[in-house]
């Protein structure tokens, strides 16, 4: 049985449907990220799991117990807030002790847990400071520590890195993952940053307009997006329409696309069907014969060059390790059948 089971959770705010029948099972010790653009419902789902919002329909189970109608203070979850939400009038130590005192744990137990977490999070020197005397990274660690001392069944993160600068974000991201593994915590993490989601998660739930577009591992989300939304949101895929012409029975099929007839892996799509297809910019085999294009924009990115190319009047993105291609150059490129992914049907 999963540590968390979300079954058909729906949430409406008046006429607005924030979540539509979301189901998800999270295993003990798993790190699952809710990913999506602003307003997709990821924070609403997190607040439903933590108990701050009651679902319109559906059920939440934590550790096998139905907690759908339990208030947050009675759930075995701990939430790390985007704003850190530290108690400004309490010292770091008192912030860490707050939840443990609510639980009415013994003095020795409280001291032991706080010592353990403060050592792990390197907060020992800050224990008598007030939150406004700490840097953003330190406040983030206190927020994390305050959740960790509770030893919850589930730890929830609501965009905890969004207020940190890029360098600190990378560092704290690694720290969060290390601590989650050390404590074998089941974690649900909310972010709109796809790089963060791919780097940290065991699985990612891609949400769009309150629906789960795809629930999968980062690798599969990237390599085999299920919808054009996922393909476009995870990385930056080229999406186009194609009509399946024929299948050769040996695992390949031919597809007519705006950039020409391409070979793709046979996904069981019948001839005549019109589907959306995607391919990743870095999968373009530049210099290989096949497709022709003119470079309209070039952006050097360090370890690769990002090119916008015009192919028959439509613009696509391709990436290459070469740095000798200039705007206005004509290039040829090919796409391998395995790199073309079938998405949803058109119409």
Residue 77 found at the interface with another protein (CB under 8 A): yes
- Cα–Cα distance measured from residue 166 to residue 177, given in angstroms and rounded to the nearest whole number: 17
Q: Given candidates 113, 141, 146, 275, which one binds another protein under the rule CB under 8 A?
A: 146
Distances in Å between the alpha carbon of 344 and those of 47, 73, 213, 327? 31, 42, 11, 34
User: Among the candidate windows 37-45, 99-107, 178-186, 304-312, which touches another protein by CB under 8 A?
Assistant: 99-107
Residue 15 found at the interface with another protein (CB under 8 A): no
Q: How far is the CB of 94 from another protein (least distance, A)?
A: 5
Q: How far is the CB of 10 from another protein (least distance, A)?
A: 22
State the burial class of residue 69 (Cβ atoms within 10 Å of its Cβ: 0-12, 13-18, 19+). exposed
- Residue 320: phi and psi, rounded to 5, are -145, 155
Q: Given candidates 19, 67, 78, 142, which one binds another protein under the rule CB under 8 A?
A: 78
Residue 79 found at the interface with another protein (CB under 8 A): yes
* Contact string (CB under 8 A) for another protein, positions 262-301, x = contact: ----------------------------------------
- DSSP summary character for residue 123: -
- Cα–Cα distance measured from residue 258 to residue 219, given in angstroms and rounded to the nearest whole number: 28
Q: How far is the CB of 77 from another protein (least distance, A)?
A: 7
- Indicate the residue among 112 and 217 with the shorter CB distance to another protein: 112
Residue 88 found at the interface with another protein (CB under 8 A): yes
Residue 28 found at the interface with another protein (CB under 8 A): no
The continuous run of DSSP H or E covering 204 comes out as strand 203-208
What is the CB neighbour count within 10 angstroms for residue 57?
A: 14
Residue 72 found at the interface with another protein (CB under 8 A): yes
User: Is 158 in contact with 43 (CB distance < 8 Å)?
Assistant: yes
**Pairing state between β 186-191 and 154-158:** parallel
- Indicate the residue among 83 and 112 with the shorter CB distance to another protein: 83
Residue 18 found at the interface with another protein (CB under 8 A): no
Q: Given candidates 17, 28, 85, 175, which one binds another protein under the rule CB under 8 A?
A: 85
- Indicate the residue among 98 and 304 with the shorter CB distance to another protein: 98
Q: Given candidates 33, 43, 50, 305, which one binds another protein under the rule CB under 8 A?
A: 50
- DSSP summary character for residue 313: T
- Closest by Cα among 284, 52, 5, 276 to 44: 52
Give me the helices (H) in the chain, please. Answer: 42-50, 92-102, 107-120, 136-148, 166-182, 194-200, 218-223, 228-233
Q: Given candidates 81, 153, 252, 310, which one binds another protein under the rule CB under 8 A?
A: 81
Residue 94 found at the interface with another protein (CB under 8 A): yes
- Cα–Cα distance measured from residue 327 to residue 201, given in angstroms and rounded to the nearest whole number: 38
3-class SS of residue 9: strand
Q: Given candidates 8, 13, 66, 101, which one binds another protein under the rule CB under 8 A?
A: 101
- Cα–Cα distance measured from residue 23 to residue 60, given in angstroms and rounded to the nearest whole number: 9
Residue 99 found at the interface with another protein (CB under 8 A): yes
Size of the site for another protein (CB under 8 A): 27
Q: Given candidates 66, 102, 119, 296, which one binds another protein under the rule CB under 8 A?
A: 102
- Indicate the residue among 95 and 254 with the shorter CB distance to another protein: 95
Which residues are at the interface with another protein (CB under 8 A)?
A: 50, 52, 71-74, 77-79, 81-83, 85-90, 94, 97-99, 101-103, 146, 150
């Amino acid at each position: 049985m999963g540590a968390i089971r979300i079954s058909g959770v729906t949430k409406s705010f008046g006429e607005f449907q924030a979540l539509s029948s979301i189901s998800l099972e999270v295993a003990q010790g798993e790190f699952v990220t809710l990913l999506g653009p602003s307003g997709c419902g990821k924070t609403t789902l997190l607040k439903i799991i933590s108990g701050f919002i009651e679902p319109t329909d559906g059920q939440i189970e934590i550790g096998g117990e139905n907690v759908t109608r339990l208030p947050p203070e009675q759930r075995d979850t701990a939430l790390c807030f985007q704003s850190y939400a530290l108690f400004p009038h309490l010292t770091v130590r008192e912030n860490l002790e707050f939840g443990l005192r609510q639980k009415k744990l013994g003095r020795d137990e409280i001291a032991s847990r706080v010592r353990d977490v403060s050592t792990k999070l390197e907060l020992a020197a800050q224990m008598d400071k007030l939150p406004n005397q700490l840097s953003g990274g330190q406040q983030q660690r206190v927020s994390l520590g305050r959740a960790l001392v509770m030893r919850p069944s589930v730890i929830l993160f609501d965009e905890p890195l969004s207020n940190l600068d890029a360098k600190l974000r990378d560092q704290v991201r690694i720290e969060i993952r290390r601590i989650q593994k050390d404590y074998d915590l089941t974690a649900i993490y909310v972010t709109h940053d796809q790089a963060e989601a791919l780097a940290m998660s065991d699985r990612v739930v891609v949400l769009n307009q309150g629906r789960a577009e795809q629930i999968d591992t980062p690798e599969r989300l990237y390599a085999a997006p299920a919808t054009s939304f996922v393909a476009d949101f995870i990385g930056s895929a080229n999406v186009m329409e194609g009509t399946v012409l024929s299948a050769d029975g040996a695992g390949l099929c031919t597809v007519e696309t705006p950039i020409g007839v391409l070979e793709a892996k046979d996904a069981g799509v019948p001839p005549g069907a019109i589907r959306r297809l995607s391919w990743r910019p870095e999968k373009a085999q530049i210099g290989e014969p096949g497709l022709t294009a003119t470079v309209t924009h070039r952006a050097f990115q360090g370890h690769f060059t990002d090119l916008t190319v015009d192919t028959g009047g439509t613009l696509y993105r391709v990436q290459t390790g070469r740095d000798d291609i200039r705007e206005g150059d004509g290039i040829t490129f090919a796409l391998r059948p395995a790199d073309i992914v079938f998405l949803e049907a058109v119409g």
